[in-house]
Amino acid sequence: MKNAATDAGVNQALLKALIAILGAKGFLQNSDDCEKYVRGARYGEGRALAVLRPDSHEQVEQVVRLCAQFAQAIVLQGANTGLVAASTPDDSGRLMVLSLERLKKHLQIDPVNRSVEVDAGYSLQELNDALLEHGLFFPIDLGANPSIGGMIAANTGGARLIKYGDVRHNLLGLRAVLMHPAGDTVDAMKALRKNNTGPDLKQIFVGSSGAYGIITRAVLQVHRLPQQSATALIVPRDQAAVLTLLQHFEQHCGDFLSAFEGISGAAFASVIKHIPGIANPFAPEALPDYCVLLELSSSADPVSSGLQLEDFLTRQLEVLFGDVIDNAIVGRGKDLWRIRHAISEALRHEGKMIAFDISMPRSALVAFREQALAILAQDYPYLKAADFGHWADGGCHFNLIWPHDAKLTYDVALVQKLRTQIYDLVVHEFQGSFSAEHGVGPYNLAFYHRYVPRAAQNLAGQMQALLDPQNLLGLTRFAFSEEPN
Ligand SMILES: Cc1cc2nc3c(=O)[nH]c(=O)nc-3n(C[C@H](O)[C@H](O)[C@H](O)COP(=O)(O)OP(=O)(O)OC[C@H]3O[C@@H](n4cnc5c(N)ncnc54)[C@H](O)[C@@H]3O)c2cc1C
């Protein structure tokens, strides 16, 4: 099958040199082979001149030198689960994808230091499989299986951030290849929790959307696997009671609180309707309008410590019954988490998703939800809110569905207007963020330019100009621009 790389004008010397470095397995050109690399998990679809798949740090250095020499633009890709179109090429057919998926040779665990050195191409699941025999895990919890490099570049959050922090909090070191000076390596691979020897350069790459350099290896702090956990699905009296519940658990067992996830009735109903094997856990009662998935966990062994988290959780819920909560199911942790992790997939069946990955101070979440739902009822009554969120860290996936059977057909301009209305509310009214965990990429670059202060955009842009003066890394340009993106 013909691919963009066979079009006239492509530098044959560059292609030849890349093939010589990467070999047949490391260089894909055929459009069938490139297919999975050019379409993002939710957004982003384009064409690639070629897909480059180095399997060593040295190959990455060589490829980057060539790209700089030939002014060949590349977009970096890990597991391609990102949600802001930052890991796929545009439709110009001029970009190459640099996939790090084969960069997985080195994985070295130090159980005493509670750290691991790991190549960027390993997946989260592969890392956790290896850590299991040491009773350790990397605690970023999400419904996808991203790569280590992609998680650093996106600073992944997930459902257990309240206890363990995001990727940034657990990153001890990294190694990255620079586009300028071409092929130079920044080696910051120390497995240290304290190291105050000048600016912490590894942080530049965290949440950088692949715009500052290519991460090839990392040192991560890992954690003891919990010896026990207790999970409950709780029906709060009303929305305000969600925050009362959160405060109560932080006050009485904050050390154990590892997740506090809100789930709207519509999101829940969608899971039951579309995901086989999941039934209403409240049956014969109807699904509630809103519920909270709460998890306590501890590395204390229940027998030797005498701590029985499930009993403890039950007692706390009994105290709150009537005033703060109407109903609760305790136990069945695996089943309850399955419901939570199935929401994104279920919603796709309902219609076209309009996703908002936002955050704000927790104290603002109730008022935000009330005002945002009022905007929907008044201006967009055909949209269905199916939101869910990480209430403990102020995160809210205010996801809306444009139903397949809506009278009005999907309208891009209307969605753009709605986005601006919601983001204005989040950023201006509630001092929140328009991108809580998914980062910045072509998909939301226009909002980055709208909401991030001008001086911050200019500084990020100057750093980008220093590290990538030819604009060869990805499609995310941080410098302020009047141009619509
Ligand atoms: C079902 C589902 C649920 C999700 N849930 C969550 C969630 O709860 N919390 C959350 O934070 N995210 C979530 N995500 C988003 C996504 O999983 C994360 O952003 C993830 O960390 C991306 O990793 P990746 O390996 O897939 O990276 P990719 O998607 O391949 O790339 C993401 C970004 O990183 C860059 N990049 C990739 N590898 C490197 C590298 N080696 N060096 C430099 N830059 C690189 C890319 O250019 C791109 O800008 C979810 C996604 C899905 C599909």
Pair 265, 336 in one domain:
yes
> Ligand 1, from 43, 75, 77: best to mutate by most atoms within 8 Å of Cβ?
77
d(CA 458, CA 449): 10
Pair 280, 326 in one domain:
yes
What's the pLDDT band for 80 if we cut at 50, 70, 90? Answer: very high
> How much is the pLDDT for 10?
77
Pair 214, 282 in one domain:
no
pLDDT over 50 (residue 327): yes
How does DSSP assign 10-64, residue by residue?
A: --HHHHHHHHHHHHHHHEE-SHHHHGGGSB-SSS-B---SEEE---SHHHHHHHH
Work out the burial of residue 146: count CB atoms within 10 Å of its CB; fewer than 13 is exposed, 13-18 middle, 19 or more buried. Answer: buried
Q: Is the CB of residue 115 below 6 angstroms from any atom belonging to ligand 1?
A: no
Residue 315 located in a structural domain: yes
Pair 114, 215 in one domain:
yes
Q: Is the CB of residue 438 below 6 angstroms from any atom belonging to ligand 1?
A: yes
Residue with the nearest Cα to atom 36 of ligand 1? 150
Pair 118, 80 in one domain:
no
Pair 306, 198 in one domain:
no
Residue 440 located in a structural domain: no
- From the list 432, 437, 330, 448, the residue with the least C-alpha distance to 390 is 437
pLDDT over 90 (residue 380): yes
What's the pLDDT band for 9 if we cut at 50, 70, 90? Answer: low
Number of domains in the chain: 4
> Ligand 1, from 81, 156, 169, 393: best to mutate by most atoms within 8 Å of Cβ?
81
> How much is the pLDDT for 42?
87
Q: Is the CB of residue 82 below 6 angstroms from any atom belonging to ligand 1?
A: yes
Q: Is the peptide bond before 181 cis (omega within 30 degrees of 0)?
A: yes
Pair 152, 248 in one domain:
no
Quote the domain boundaries for residue 128.
107-224
Q: Which CATH number do you get for residue 313? A: 3.30.70.2190
Residue 166 located in a structural domain: yes
Beta strands in 281-390 (DSSP E): 290-298, 325-330, 351-354, 357-359, 384-385, 388-390
Pair 172, 145 in one domain:
yes
Rounded to an integer, the average pLDDT of 338-346 is 94
- Domain boundary among the residues 286, 320, 343 is at 343
Q: Which CATH number do you get for residue 419? A: 3.30.70.2740
Residue 469 located in a structural domain: no
Inter-residue contact 167 to 151 (CB < 8 Å): yes
Residue 328 located in a structural domain: yes
pLDDT over 60 (residue 2): no
Mean pLDDT of the chain: 95
User: If you ran DSSP here, which 8-state letter would residue 240 be given?
Assistant: H
Residue with the nearest Cα to atom 19 of ligand 1? 82
pTM for the structure as a whole: 0.95
Pair 112, 43 in one domain:
no
Rounded to an integer, the average pLDDT of 248-261 is 95
How far out from the chain centre does Cα 315 lie?
35
Pair 371, 416 in one domain:
yes
Rounded to an integer, the average pLDDT of 50-69 is 98
- Domain boundary among the residues 294, 325, 343 is at 343
Residue 212 located in a structural domain: yes
Residue with the nearest Cα to atom 27 of ligand 1? 150
pLDDT over 90 (residue 471): yes
Residue 138 located in a structural domain: yes
pLDDT over 80 (residue 483): no
Residue with the nearest Cα to atom 52 of ligand 1? 144
d(CA 231, CA 241): 18
- Domain boundary among the residues 71, 99, 127 is at 99
d(CA 333, CA 297): 11
Beta strands in 122-227 (DSSP E): 136-137, 171-177, 185-188, 214-221, 223-224
Which tokens in the block code for residue 450? Answer: 């709208």
pLDDT over 60 (residue 63): yes
Residue with the nearest Cα to atom 17 of ligand 1? 81
Q: Is the CB of residue 353 below 6 angstroms from any atom belonging to ligand 1?
A: no
How confident is the model over 387-412, as pLDDT tens digits? Answer: 999 999 999 999 999 998 898 999 99
Q: Is the CB of residue 359 below 6 angstroms from any atom belonging to ligand 1?
A: no
Residue 386 located in a structural domain: yes
Residues 6+ apart with CB under 8 A from 196: none
The closest-lying atom of ligand 1 relative to the alpha carbon of residue 141 is 8
Pair 144, 215 in one domain:
yes
Rounded to an integer, the average pLDDT of 119-137 is 98
Pair 205, 113 in one domain:
yes
Residues 6+ apart with CB under 8 A from 217: 57, 106, 117, 118, 119, 120, 174, 175, 189
CA distance to 249, 279, 377, per residue, from 484 (Å): 45, 45, 29
What's the pLDDT band for 244 if we cut at 50, 70, 90? Answer: very high
